[in-house]
Amino acid sequence: MSENIAHSGAWGLAAIMIVVASWLFYRYFAPKTWREWAGAGVVQAFIIALYAEMYGFPLTIYLLARFFGLDRYTLNANLWSSLVGIGETGMLISMLLGYALLFVGIGIFIQGWRELYRARSENRLATTGLYALVRHPQYTGLFLGLFGEGVIHWPTLFSVALFPVIVLAYTLLSRSEEKKVLEEFGEEYHAYQRQVPMFFPRPGQWRKLVERSGNQGDPG
């Protein structure tokens, strides 16, 4: 049946994308503790499931066609194209929206990494720039990127199901990390916790988060 589904069967490209995405993830997140490895393992499963279906075999479309009666004559490997029934237009719209979130997420992650590195080199808390809006901007960037690529751009049964698991895994990891920071900075960090949300900025501050992710400096 895979030959009747557009945009499938490119296993070589699937392997390349899995290797590249996995290398980038491990290069910058570099898990060390078992909690970090647990979160990284879920993200790795997300990456494999996503690109294996995006370029290889569209299991989600096959299951929906087999058990839920999707039209077998207008199937596309992209779920939005098949569900909405507007063909390549649906895939193009989801691709543009998904990539927009992906690149915003990458920008937030990179800027958050810079600010954290600068704060650590100066032996102080990171509480300015992105850290004035969220306590873990690197994870915020990760969530936005994965949501854009695996839910908006190319949703599959596995990517949609794994996304909340990833959020849960990194929520637990963040709480563990914050316990260590509390031991080092005490009341200073506790006061910061009360003022700044963990991952998602307060209503009205998303635009500021995106704007600051493009800054090279460390604004207050």
pLDDT classification of 10: cutoffs 50, 70, 90: confident
Q: Compute the distance between CA of residue 56 and CA of residue 52 in angstroms, rounded to an integer.
A: 5
Contact 61, 75 (CB under 8 A): yes
pLDDT at 93: 85
Work out the pLDDT band at 162, boundaries 50, 70, 90: very high
HSE toward the beta carbon, residue 71, CA cutoff 13 A: 11
DSSP secondary structure code for residue 201 in this structure: P
> Residues in the chain, how many?
220
Between residues 189 and 29, the one the model is more confident about: 189
Contacts 24+ apart (CB under 8 A), 15-19: 17/51, 17/54, 17/55, 18/47, 18/48, 18/51, 18/52
- Give the start-to-end residue ranges of the domains of the chain: 2-213
Structure-token pair, residue 176: 């563990």
Q: Residue 76 — pLDDT band, cuts 50, 70, 90?
A: low
Q: Assess if CATH 1.20.120 describes domain 2-213.
A: yes
| pLDDT of the residue at 60 | 79
User: How far is 92 from 81, CA to CA, in rounded Å?
Assistant: 9
Residue 183, CB half-sphere, CA atoms under 13 Å: how many? 6
Mean pLDDT estimate for the chain: 86
pLDDT at 1: 43
How much is the pLDDT for 27? 85
